[in-house]
Amino acid sequence: MALTAGIVGLPNVGKTTVFQAITGTAAPSRSINQFSTTAPVPGVVDVPDDRLQGLADRIPTKKIVPAQMHITDIPALVAGSSEGAGMGVGFLGAIKESDALLHVVRCFTNDGVTHVSGGIDPATDAEIVELELAQTDKETLKRNIERVGKKARTGDKEMKAQLAAFEKALAALDGGTLLRQVEFTDQEHKLLYPLFLMTSKPVLFLANVGDDDQEGRSAHVQALRDYASKTGAEVAHLCGDLEAEFAVMSAEDAATFMSDFGFTESGLSRIITRTFDLLGLQTFFTAGEKETRAWVIHKGDTAPLGAGVIHTDFVKKFVRAEVYQFGDLVEFGTEKAIRDAGKLRLEGKDYVLQDGDVCHFLIGG
């Protein structure tokens, strides 16, 4: 499965700079002007994972294939976007298609970059964007309540269930509660899923700090953390300007400069790790002569579901899996040594895969 995330935020908060930092690509539209991004800009980035090289060092392979993350830089939202202000909301399909939202919030001071509301107020800035998404969700729900209402009144059980779920969601939004904060049953989640409601998506706020606050300890970042805590979201910080510079350097130069600035890991690595946690994802591996590959699954997925990520037919045809942990390979050096030490396990259909598992699947005909 491919992880997809949309980058959202107000104008001039550094969205495009963060997009460049994450994807490692030059961003020709980067500008101090508002609405420099006028259409969704897609990007794909390999998910950094040192374990892949560790596998390849011990199990010779022709190709290393990392997991991938799909990122979209989405045009800025402003107060009134849901009613056509700014760039409007014609690009919101890119948000609806995202698994998670990376919401960039300005926490840096720069007199050369104007602020849409004249001053830096991270909590208010975050709320402006979320209110616009909530307003669009309300309109979506109202349309669908009208659509299913007549059939629900005839006694159609499916339509009645949909209507109840839709009305519950609308009532929450009308009461000022974002849908990610609402407890829905599994059935309600299933009924709401086709509407791709934007405030139901997990959110990671990215506090874009200046190079004078690389630890993210300023009052601005704390204000954003307080807002996130109240609204069921999480916060990570990064200095977009520095990260964007690192991203287009050679690996050697980037490592030198990151060390000079006291960075222990890249912003990309930190963001992806936090996004994985936010979505409840983890990684398992397959390793062999032809290729060594990372696969992304949900925490709690069983071995057949993991095999199904490789090929959908493998879910039904799964027989068993040979499994060991990456740490076992580091300790023992070879798969033969792992087997001889009794660390290679045979697991059946009920086995729940763990992060760092290395798997060989046996698939029936």
pLDDT confidence bin for 58, thresholds 50/70/90: very high
Tokens at 365, concatenated: 């005909």
Lowest-pLDDT range of 109-118, 180-189, 252-261, 262-271? 109-118
Q: Rounded to whole angstroms, how far apart are CA atoms 61 and 134?
A: 49
pLDDT in tens, 345-360: 999 999 999 999 999 9
Q: What pLDDT score was predicted for residue 80?
A: 62
Strand-pairing partners, residue 278, are none
Nearest one of 138, 124, 193 to 170, comparing CA atoms: 138
pLDDT confidence bin for 29, thresholds 50/70/90: very low
Tokens at 145, concatenated: 């309540």
Q: What pLDDT score was predicted for residue 50?
A: 92
Q: Is the pLDDT of residue 177 over 80?
A: yes
pLDDT in tens, 300-317: 999 999 999 999 999 999
- Which amino acid appears at position 294 of this protein? A
Nearest one of 136, 11, 8 to 82, comparing CA atoms: 136
Q: What pLDDT score was predicted for residue 91?
A: 65
Q: What pLDDT score was predicted for residue 48?
A: 86
Query: For residue 111, with 0-12 CB atoms within 10 Å meaning exposed, 13-18 middle and 19 or more buried, which class applies?
Result: exposed
Q: What pLDDT score was predicted for residue 203?
A: 96
Inter-residue contact 102 to 18 (CB < 8 Å): yes
pLDDT confidence bin for 30, thresholds 50/70/90: very low
Mean pLDDT, rounded, of the chain: 88
Inter-residue contact 92 to 136 (CB < 8 Å): yes
pLDDT in tens, 69-92: 889 998 877 666 556 555 555 667
Domains in the chain, ordered, with CATH? 3-49+64-118+201-277 (3.40.50.300), 133-198 (1.10.150.300), 300-363 (3.10.20.30)
Lowest-pLDDT range of 40-44, 62-66, 86-90? 86-90
Query: For residue 119, with 0-12 CB atoms within 10 Å meaning exposed, 13-18 middle and 19 or more buried, which class applies?
Result: exposed
Q: What pLDDT score was predicted for residue 127?
A: 95
